[in-house]
Structure 1
Amino acid sequence: MPASSTSLIPTPRKSAIDMPSPKLHQHQQQRNTKNLGLRLGADLMSASCAASMVAPLIAVIDRSIMENASGRSTVSNSLKSSFRTLLLRPHALIFSKPVALIFMVYGGTYLTANTLDTATSTARNQPATHVTTGTPKFAASSAANVGLCVYKDQFFVKLFGPSGPPRPVPLPSYLLFTMRDCLTIFASFNVPPLLGPILTERMKPAWQKTVSGTTVAQFAAPAAVQILSTPVHLLGLDMFNRPATGGRGVPWGDRWTQVWKNWAVSTAARICRIVPAFGLGGTVNTKVRRNLMESLV
Structure 2
Amino acid sequence: FVLTFSVYFGTYAVANLTELALDLQKKKMPDEQRHNFQVAATSTANISLLAWRDSLWARDASTIRPSTTTVWRSMSLFAMRDSATLYATFYLAPIAATHLVQEHDVDRNLAELLTAVVLPMTTQLATAPLHIYANDGWQRPTATLAERWRTIQKGFGAVSLARSLRILPVLGIGSFSNHQFRSLLLGGQQSHDNRFVKRQRTLQFLEHRPTRIEALRKASGGHRPARAVV
1:261 — aligned with what?
154
The answer as to 2:165 corresponding to 1:272 is: yes
What TM-score results when the alignment is normalised by the length of structure 2? 0.71
RMSD: 2.6
SS of equivalent to 1:194 = helix
SS of equivalent to 1:102 = helix
* Alpha-carbon distance, 1:147 to partner: 1.0
Contact 2:66 2:141 in 1 (8 A): no
Contact 2:22 2:34 in 1 (8 A): no
Larger helix share, 1 or 2: 2
Within a 5 Å distance, the mapping from 1:1-297 to structure 2 comes to 99-123=1-25, 134-159=35-60, 161-162=61-62, 164=63, 170-203=71-104, 208=107, 211-244=109-142, 250-294=143-187
Q: Which amino acid aligns with 1:144?
A: A
Give unmatched runs, 5+ long, in structure 1.
1-98, 245-249
Give unmatched runs, 5+ long, in structure 2.
189-194, 199-230
* Alpha-carbon distance, 1:158 to partner: 3.1
* Alpha-carbon distance, 1:132 to partner: 7.6
> Residue 180 and residue 133 in structure 1: after superposition, are their counterparts in 2 closer, same or farther (change >3 A)?
farther
Following the alignment from structure 1 to structure 2, what is the Cα–Cα distance between the partners of residues 290 and 131?
A: 18
* Alpha-carbon distance, 1:277 to partner: 1.5
> Residue 116 and residue 190 in structure 1: after superposition, are their counterparts in 2 closer, same or farther (change >3 A)?
farther
Q: What are the Cα deviations for residues 187-229 of structure 1, in whole angstroms up to 9, with x where unaligned?
A: 112222222111123445xx628x4212211111111111111
Contact 1:226 1:267 in 2 (8 A): yes
Following the alignment from structure 2 to structure 1, what is the Cα–Cα distance between the partners of residues 59 and 102?
A: 47
What TM-score results when the alignment is normalised by the length of structure 1? 0.56
> Residue 121 and residue 284 in structure 1: after superposition, are their counterparts in 2 closer, same or farther (change >3 A)?
same
Following the alignment from structure 2 to structure 1, what is the Cα–Cα distance between the partners of residues 26 and 163?
A: 38
SS of equivalent to 2:186 = helix
* Alpha-carbon distance, 1:131 to partner: 10
Residues matched between the structures, number: 186
Q: What are the Cα deviations for residues 59-105 of structure 1, in whole angstroms up to 9, with x where unaligned?
A: xxxxxxxxxxxxxxxxxxxxxxxxxxxxxxxxxxxxxxxx1111111
Identity percentage of aligned residues: 26
Which of the pair has more CA radius of gyration? Answer: 1
